[in-house]
Amino acid sequence: MAITIKDVAKLADVAPSTVSRVIANNPRISDKTKEKVKAAMDELGYHPNFIARSLANQSTRVIGLVLPNSTDVFFQNPFFPTVLRGLSDGANERQYALQISTGKTDDEIFEGVVQMVQGRRVDGVILLYSRTEDKVLNYLRERKFPFVVIGKPFKDVDQITYVDNDNYKASKEATNYLLSLGHKQIGFIGGDLNFVVTIERILGFEKALREANIESNDEYIIHSEFLREGGQEAISQLLNLKNPPTALVVADDLMALGVLNTLTEMKISVPEDISILSFNNVLFSELSNPPLTSVDINIFELGYQASRSLIRLLSNENEPVRRIIVPHKLIKRVSCSSRIIDIKTAHPN
C-alpha cells in the first residue's frame, strides 16, 4: 500500500498541510519541524509525487538553461561545468530540476527555447550568456516569460534581472597590474565581440591604457573563440608583429592555455619573455606551467545566484528587477613578471 502525506503527518504528529509546506521548502516552517517531518518521510520511505503536484499547481518545477551555440565551447571550457554546479545547487534548494537547451546554430537554439516555453516544459529560463543582439531574449520579453541572464544585458539593463561580474572594472584592474610591472606594450586576446562580456573587458583594458597615457594598438587586440585553439591562433598572430607585446590580457583561462602551449613550442618563456594574465581562475590555471595569474570571477556563485534570482521571480510576480554583481579577485601567480625582453631579439628566427 502506497505511503501518503497523511501517513507522514501522523508519524510526525503534524497536520498534512504542514507536510506539504515542508516538501515545498516553505520558509515559514521552522527548521525543527522540517527535520521532524523529513525524519518521518525517511522512516516511511515516502517520496513526494512531484508530477502530480506540478499538474495541480500548473508548475513543472523545471528551469530551462539556454547555452551558447558552440557545443565545443560548452564541453571543453571549464566555465560551463562550474556554473552548472552553481545553478544546480541553487535549484536543488527549492527542489527545481534543470533542463538544458542548446543547438549548433542560433536558429536551433531559438527553436528549442520556443518548444520549452510554448510546451510549458519549464517554469522559467536562465540564459548562460549575454549577446549584443539576441532573438531568444527578445522572444522571452515579448512573451513576458520569466527569465534571468548570466551576463550584463546589452540594452534595457534596468528592465532585466541579471547576474554578472563587473567585467569592465576587472579588466581595468588586470591591465593596471601589468602596467604596474612596467609593461607598456600590452596585448588583449578576447572572445567574440557579439558577447557583452568581451565588450566590457576590452573597454576596461583600453581605459587603463588611456589613463596611463598609452595609446591602444589595434594590432595588439585579437578576438577568437573561448577555446584553447583560439588562444593558439591569437598568439601566433601577435608574435608575427614587428614589435610584439611584452604582456597579454587573455579573456579566458582555456584560451590562455592555448597561448602557453604555443609559446612552449616556440621556446618562448613565460614570464621571462612575455607575461600572461587571464580570467576565470579555473583549476588548470593553477596547474598549468607556469601557473597562471588569473582573475577569479567566482563562477559557481554566478550560477547559484542566477538560480536563486529566477526562483524568486517564479515565487513572486511582483519581485523587483535585480542587478546582482558577484565580486572578483586577482589571483597572482608566476605568469607575470616585470622583466621585459624583446621576443624577436631573444629568440631570432
Task: Write down the pLDDT at residue 55.
Answer: 47
294, pLDDT greater than 60: yes
Strand pairing category for 147-150 and 62-66: unpaired
List the single range of 68-72, 119-123, 279-283 with lowest mean pLDDT.
Answer: 68-72
Cβ-count burial of 98 within 10 angstroms (0-12 exposed, 13-18 middle, 19+ buried)? middle
User: Does 68 share its domain with 158?
Assistant: yes
283, pLDDT greater than 80: yes
User: Does 260 share its domain with 200?
Assistant: yes
User: Does 337 share its domain with 199?
Assistant: yes
User: Does 179 share its domain with 316?
Assistant: no
49, pLDDT greater than 90: no
Number of domains making up the chain: 2
pLDDT tens figures, 234-272: 999 999 999 999 999 999 999 899 999 999 999 999 999
CATH of the domain at 70: 3.40.50.2300
19, pLDDT greater than 90: no
User: Does 233 share its domain with 314?
Assistant: no
Kindly state whether residue 148 falls inside one of the protein's structural domains.
yes
Q: What is the mean pLDDT of residues 288-309?
A: 97
Task: Write down the pLDDT at residue 230.
Answer: 78
Residues 6+ apart with CB under 8 A from 222: 187, 188, 189, 190, 234, 237, 238
Q: Which residue has the cell 544585458?
A: 153
Task: Write down the pLDDT at residue 28.
Answer: 83
User: Does 115 share its domain with 259?
Assistant: no
Measure the CA angle with vertex 308, ends 304 and 310; round to 5°.
120
Nearest CA-CA partner of 314 in 205, 169, 161, 88: 161
Kindly state whether residue 49 falls inside one of the protein's structural domains.
no
Task: Write down the pLDDT at residue 53.
Answer: 54
List the single range of 8-12, 224-228, 229-233 with lowest mean pLDDT.
Answer: 224-228
User: Does 217 share its domain with 190?
Assistant: yes
Task: Starting at the earlier edge strand, list the strands of the sheet with 293-296.
Answer: 221-223, 186-190, 247-250, 275-279, 293-296, 329-331
Kindly state whether residue 32 falls inside one of the protein's structural domains.
no
Are 130 and 150 in contact by the 8 Å Cβ rule? The answer is yes
- Give the phi and the psi of residue 245 in degrees, each rounded to 5: -65, 155
Between 346 and 8, residue with greater pLDDT: 8
Between 19 and 206, residue with greater pLDDT: 206
* DSSP secondary structure string for all residues of 173-212: HHHHHHHHTT--SEEEEE--TTBHHHHHHHHHHHHHHHHT
Kindly state whether residue 26 falls inside one of the protein's structural domains.
no
**What is the residue-averaged pLDDT of the chain?**
89
Domain span at residue 321? 62-165+299-328
User: Does 250 share its domain with 261?
Assistant: yes
Rounded to whole angstroms, the Cα distance separating 151 from 161 reads: 10
Kindly state whether residue 52 falls inside one of the protein's structural domains.
no
Task: Write down the pLDDT at residue 344.
Answer: 47
List the single range of 56-65, 103-112, 122-131, 191-200 with lowest mean pLDDT.
Answer: 56-65
Are 125 and 140 in contact by the 8 Å Cβ rule? The answer is yes
Q: What is the mean pLDDT of residues 207-222?
A: 96
Kindly state whether residue 48 falls inside one of the protein's structural domains.
no
User: Does 157 share its domain with 209?
Assistant: no
Kindly state whether residue 29 falls inside one of the protein's structural domains.
no
User: Does 186 share its domain with 215?
Assistant: yes
Task: Report residue 26's pLDDT band, with 50, 70 and 90 as the boundaries.
Answer: confident
User: Does 313 share its domain with 278?
Assistant: no
Task: Write down the pLDDT at residue 52.
Answer: 53
278, pLDDT greater than 80: yes
pLDDT tens figures, 112-163: 999 999 888 999 999 999 999 999 999 999 999 999 999 999 999 999 999 9
pLDDT tens figures, 74-107: 677 889 999 999 999 999 999 999 999 878 888 9
Task: Write down the pLDDT at residue 345.
Answer: 47
